[in-house]
């Protein structure tokens, strides 16, 4: 039988194929999208075509146009096979060079699917609005393959919902308009091998007013004081704001939730009618009176059921909530410990498990899960932002999440967290500070505190009360992709910069945490993440990050534990363990993941150091522990973790935790301790009294005052490593030739953790590039990025080179990264420095290896990652401020020297730890006699506890020695020089000058 005979009529097709659907007499003719007869090629943007995609190289399915005798339409079908471990599927995109398609004349999209009866859910998405199929808004629904053979799947457009886990352009208007459609995509099942066949994708049916008209309520949750009347606003709206073409009715009735009709509230019912012609946006109000019974009790819920005809109904049933009242934990006059004890004693095990759970805001199956699972916390991972990415949108989003908690029994507020590691770096327009390595270079604890205060104020003004910062890692190998998150390689330097904690949190006793400009801080990553050995990582292609730190117990105490001891003394509110493993020589345990180290978290951090905040896991970190999932939960909770960052697995975690407690493998006492710690911080933050965003400080976000702090930090972070002939500071009368990849790239200048996790090159955030700063300083500046412009007639060249953004193990050297300059950067340096006197600035998260180019460079500046304020860099280049920065890490001669750190027995770097020339500053003259005098006075200052004088005297000695060396930095000079800076930071001023005297003599 010929295949075309199957298509003789719709009636014959319906008779031959099961599940065929009849077309209504008044429906328009179906509009084909794909027939799979070869009219649409296998191609990709910008051409029209079908293409595959996946999480890695094995995940994209294979596709072919297959001849099938049973094809529902034509002679061919789209067939394929798949074996997906992560995610994968295929897409049909319309041509980006042609207008988008208008689907608004139809009810939905349908196709024939050759069922395998495997019970798997197949997500199907359509692409609405935007520039093209890969820059559109994604709307999704799904069908279930629970049948065998061909079946026509019909997906009404009313079934599609806006994707919340991923949007290629962050979302556009959140409205499925259907007038600018760019195609569709299918996601195939992961975890098992399979094959599929698809045919005849088409648009069908008459448009449903429910697609263009919708009924919404002003909020999904309506808290109300006992005895007051709740008012629920019901609104009808249409796409394009057109009047209704047909009437819409809303029948409503209260129902018993946890509140009792007639006792806790007066029941109401009725019908609201919006006649044809009603304007879009019309609103009616439903009033629900509650009753006062004067009994102290938890919150009680009253569902308001809505039955909508003629429009799309609200996504969920709104709830009236009679607020909890009269219970001791609600009394802010009581001590926090009593409030915690009262609340804890009322909670169920499931409610406690929820408090120990943190989910990612974009990963929730539905917003109602906040109440359904009693979630204690949400976070925004790097780049997880609202649309638009504005302070107001952040506050609105978080307030909406907080509103959900009001539907729980005890209305325990969420604690929302972000990685604000150098300013509120997820927020567009925020003040972006230098990364920590630059702050360490400033050697200015008061400035570190001010940067923390600016960050806290901007974060809290968007409704976020918790910051996953600062990183107190002691970076011992600059090949690490997180080296720039460290203040430096010396624990004494890290300790000195921990004033940032007071900037974030305020006073160490926690009394400032409820202020509108303070946030809860997080010391991370406990313990030893900066000491991992090169090649020890087992995470993907990482080389250092998440690897193994092998140390003696004394090295652990002196290097890696010391900053956390200081943080506990400063009242740090939360601590985050490291992904890495710890191998303590001689303890017999071998390499054990930190998330499993009970001896360190419970034994050292909580018991010995007396940490009384709570411990939060890193992102999905418990999944790296040995054993099955129950073992992951059991091991980590028993090791002392109080809250788990399980971005996508919050349902599994809460269920497993409850099961483990019921089985006796986790004690109730351990759970109570964890929840007590979490609740204590929530009470201290004032969240029970003020759960919603206080946006009074939002006007200061990115303000001139805040950027002035960032500008000062950028200026003080610049380290002048070489300055032959006093080339710096520049003079405004000089003609300056500027070149290099990082001169005019604010994305490179701000680095990773800027708007997104990895950051990005280019014009990513508002701010001032180094080139713009030089021009604004009033200099005579010419710019040629690749130094291709003629270089004659200039007084000095400024070449700004370095790295592009990265974060974590993605940036590990050996994982696609190097400490050497790129070929383009090398060429720019060579061209400019051969033509004129030159200054080279390295914009990077770690030292850059310059090799034999150092001799041709007249002045060298380590600029680190200075943030959004390029004016600060220009300030020191043009002499508005002096160079005062000092190296926070050792600058190696070659990669073969790594790891190299202050205190090493063999120590012969390019530039030693603590090195930093100065400008505009009087440098004392003299020899050993002058140093003897400085040493005696420094020792006296030390005896009298006069730190200010002691530090000033050591600084004078350092500047004297730097001048004397004339750049002749042998190992005999470098080692005592670096040791002196460590002694200075530990308050041993007399010995510091003695070491500098040794360096002077060796020079």
Residue-wise DSSP of 8-51: S-HHHHHHHSTT--PPPTTSPPPEEEE--SSSS-B--TTS-EEE
Query: CB within 8 A of 327, min separation 6: which ones?
Result: 296, 297, 298, 342, 343, 346, 410
Query: CB within 8 A of 390, min separation 6: which ones?
Result: 427, 428, 429
213 SS3 class: strand
Characterize the bridge pairing of strands 319-322 and 300-309.
antiparallel
Paired residues of 378 in beta bridges: 359, 416
Q: In the chain, what is the straight-line distance between the N-terminal and C-terminal CA atoms, in Å?
A: 98
Query: CB within 8 A of 737, min separation 6: which ones?
Result: 782, 784, 787, 789, 791, 794, 796, 797, 798, 832, 835, 836
From residue 485, alpha-carbon distances to 35, 478, 550 in Å are 54, 11, 21
156 burial (CB, 10 Å; 0-12 / 13-18 / 19+) is middle
Place of tokens 């890695």: 56
The residue from 226, 808, 979, 998 that is catalytic is 808
How far is Cα 637 from Cα 674, in angstroms, rounded to an integer?
9
* Residue 618 known to be catalytic: yes
How far is Cα 718 from Cα 873, in angstroms, rounded to an integer?
7
Please check whether residue 887 is in contact with residue 441, taking contact to mean a CB–CB distance below 8 angstroms: yes
372 SS3 class: helix
Q: Starting at the edge strand that comes first in sequence, how are the strands of the sheet with 229-238 ordered?
A: 213-217, 229-238, 282-289
How far is Cα 132 from Cα 794, in angstroms, rounded to an integer?
47
User: 668-684 vs 650-662: helix axis angle to the nearest 10?
Assistant: 130
* Ramachandran angles phi, psi of 909, nearest 5°: -85, 175
How far is Cα 549 from Cα 695, in angstroms, rounded to an integer?
43
Angle ∠(678,679,684) on CA atoms, nearest 5: 105
The residue from 618, 871, 875, 979 that is catalytic is 618
Residue in 866, 589, 586 with CA at minimum distance from that of residue 749 = 866
Query: Can the peptide bond before residue 388 be classed as cis, meaning omega within 30 degrees of 0?
Result: yes
Residue-wise DSSP of 54-102: ESSTT-SPEEEEEE-TT-SSSSEEEEEEEE-SS-EEEEEEPPTTSPPB-
Residue in 86, 90, 93 with CA at minimum distance from that of residue 133 = 93
Structure-block tokens of residue 258: 């946890």
* Residue 569 known to be catalytic: no
Residue in 374, 928, 401 with CA at minimum distance from that of residue 653 = 374
Please check whether residue 432 is in contact with residue 710, taking contact to mean a CB–CB distance below 8 angstroms: yes
Angle ∠(134,138,140) on CA atoms, nearest 5: 135
Place of tokens 């045919």: 199
Beta strands in 218-369 (DSSP E): 221-224, 229-238, 248-254, 269-274, 282-289, 300-309, 319-322, 357-360
Paired residues of 430 in beta bridges: none
Paired residues of 274 in beta bridges: 248
Query: CB within 8 A of 129, min separation 6: which ones?
Result: 100, 136, 137, 172, 173, 177, 180
Report, as residue numbers or ranges, the catalytic residues. 618, 808
């Amino acid at each position: 039988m010929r295949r075309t005979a199957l298509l003789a009529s719709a009636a014959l097709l319906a008779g031959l194929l099961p599940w065929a659907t009849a077309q209504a007499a008044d429906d328009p003719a179906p509009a084909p999208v794909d027939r799979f007869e070869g009219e649409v090629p296998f191609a990709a943007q910008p051409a029209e075509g079908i293409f595959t995609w996946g999480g890695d190289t094995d995940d994209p399915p294979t596709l072919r146009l297959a001849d099938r005798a049973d094809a529902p339409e034509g002679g061919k079908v789209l067939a394929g096979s798949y074996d997906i471990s992560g995610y994968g599927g295929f897409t049909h995109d319309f041509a980006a060079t042609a207008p988008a398609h208008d689907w608004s004349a139809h009810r939905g999209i349908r196709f024939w699917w050759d069922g395998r009866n495997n019970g798997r859910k197949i997500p199907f998405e359509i692409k609405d609005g935007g520039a093209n199929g890969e820059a559109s808004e994604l709307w999704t629904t799904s069908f279930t393959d629970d049948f065998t053979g061909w079946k026509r799947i019909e997906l009404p457009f009313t079934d599609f919902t806006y994707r919340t886990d991923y949007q290629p352009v962050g979302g556009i208007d959140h409205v499925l308009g259907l007038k600018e459609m760019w195609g569709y995509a299918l996601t195939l099942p992961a975890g098992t091998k399979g094959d599929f066949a698809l045919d005849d994708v088409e648009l069908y049916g008459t448009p449903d007013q429910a697609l263009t008209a919708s009924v919404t309520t002003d909020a999904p949750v309506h808290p109300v004081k006992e005895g007051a009347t709740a008012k629920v606003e019901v609104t009808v709206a249409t796409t394009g704001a057109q009047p209704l073409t047909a009437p819409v009715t809303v029948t409503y009735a209260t129902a018993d939730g946890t509140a009792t009709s007639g006792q806790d509230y007066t029941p109401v019912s009725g019908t609201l009618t919006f006649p044809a012609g009603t304007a879009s946006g019309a609103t009616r109000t439903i009033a629900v009176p509650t009753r006062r019974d004067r009994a102290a009790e938890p919150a009680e819920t009253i569902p308001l059921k809505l039955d909508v005809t003629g429009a799309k109904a609200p996504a969920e049933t709104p709830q009236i909530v009679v607020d909890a009242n009269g219970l001791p934990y609600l009394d802010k006059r009581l001590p926090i410990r009593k409030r915690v004890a009262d609340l804890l004693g009322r909670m169920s095990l499931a409610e406690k498990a929820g408090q120990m759970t943190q989910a990612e805001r974009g990963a929730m199956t539905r917003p109602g899960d906040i109440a359904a699972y009693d979630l204690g916390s949400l976070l925004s991972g790097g780049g997880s932002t609202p649309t638009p990415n504005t302070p107001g949108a952040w506050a609105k989003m978080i307030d909406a999440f907080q509103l959900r908690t009001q539907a729980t029994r005890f209305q325990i507020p969420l604690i929302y967290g972000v990685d604000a590691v150098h300013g509120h770096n997820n927020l567009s327009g925020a003040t972006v500070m230098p990364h920590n390595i630059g702050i360490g270079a400033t050697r200015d604890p008061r400035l570190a505190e001010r940067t923390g205060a600016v960050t806290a104020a901007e974060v809290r003004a968007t409704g976020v009360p918790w910051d996953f910062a600062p990183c107190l890692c002691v970076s011992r190998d600059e090949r690490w992709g997180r080296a720039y998150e460290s203040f430096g390689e010396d624990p004494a330097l890290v300790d000195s910069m921990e004033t940032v904690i007071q900037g974030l949190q305020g006073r160490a006793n926690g009394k400032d945490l409820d202020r509108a400009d303070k946030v809860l801080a997080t010391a991370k990553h406990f313990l030893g993440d900066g000491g991992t050995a090169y090649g020890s990582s087992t995470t993907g292609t990482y080389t250092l990050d998440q690897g193994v730190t092998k140390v003696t117990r004394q090295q652990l105490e002196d290097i890696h534990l010391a900053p956390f001891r200081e943080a506990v003394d400063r009242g740090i509110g939360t601590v985050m363990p490291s992904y890495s493993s710890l191998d303590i020589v001689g303890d017999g345990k071998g390499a054990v993941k930190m998330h499993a180290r009970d001896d360190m978290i419970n034994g050292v951090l909580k018991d010995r150091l007396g940490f009384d905040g709570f411990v939060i896991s890193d992102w999905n970190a418990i999944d790296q522990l040995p054993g099955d999932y129950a073992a992951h939960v059991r091991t980590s909770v028993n090791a002392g973790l109080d809250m788990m960052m399980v971005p996508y697995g919050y349902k599994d975690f809460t269920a497993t935790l409850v099961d483990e407690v019921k089985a006796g493998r986790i004690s109730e006492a351990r759970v109570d301790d964890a929840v007590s710690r979490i609740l204590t911080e929530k009470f201290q933050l004032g969240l029970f009294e003020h759960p919603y965003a206080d946006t009074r400080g939002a006007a200061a976000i990115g303000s001139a005052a805040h950027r002035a702090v960032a500008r000062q930090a950028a200026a003080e972070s610049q380290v002048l490593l070489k300055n032959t002939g006093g080339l710096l500071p520049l003079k405004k009368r000089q003609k300056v030739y500027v070149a290099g990849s990082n001169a005019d790239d604010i994305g490179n200048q701000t680095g990773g953790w800027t708007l997104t996790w990895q950051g990005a090159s280019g014009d990513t955030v508002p701010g001032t590039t180094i080139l713009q700063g030089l021009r604004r300083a009033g200099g005579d500046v010419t710019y040629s990025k690749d130094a291709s412009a003629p270089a004659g007639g200039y007084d000095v060249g400024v070449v700004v080179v370095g790295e592009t953004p990265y974060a974590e193990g993605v940036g590990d050297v050996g994982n696609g990264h190097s400490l050497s300059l790129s070929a383009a950067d090398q060429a720019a340096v060579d061209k400019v420095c051969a033509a004129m006197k030159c200054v080279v600035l390295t914009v990077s998260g770690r030292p850059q290896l310059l090799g034999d180019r150092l001799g041709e460079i007249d002045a060298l500046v380590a600029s680190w990652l200075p943030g959004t304020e390029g004016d600060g860099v220009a300030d020191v280049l043009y002499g508005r401020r002096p160079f005062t920065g000092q190296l926070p890490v050792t600058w190696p001669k070659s990669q073969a020297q790594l790891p190299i750190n202050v205190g090493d027995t063999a120590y012969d770097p390019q530039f030693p730890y603590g090195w930093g020339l100065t400008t505009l500053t009087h440098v004392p003259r003299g020899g050993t006699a002058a140093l003897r005098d400085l040493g005696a006075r420094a020792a006296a200052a030390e005896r009298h506890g006069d730190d200010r004088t002691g530090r000033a005297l050591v600084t004078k000695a350092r500047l004297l020695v730097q001048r004397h060396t004339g750049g002749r930095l042998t190992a005999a000079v470098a080692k005592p020089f670096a040791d002196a800076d460590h002694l200075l930071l530990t308050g041993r001023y007399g010995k510091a000058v003695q070491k500098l005297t040794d360096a002077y003599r060796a020079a």
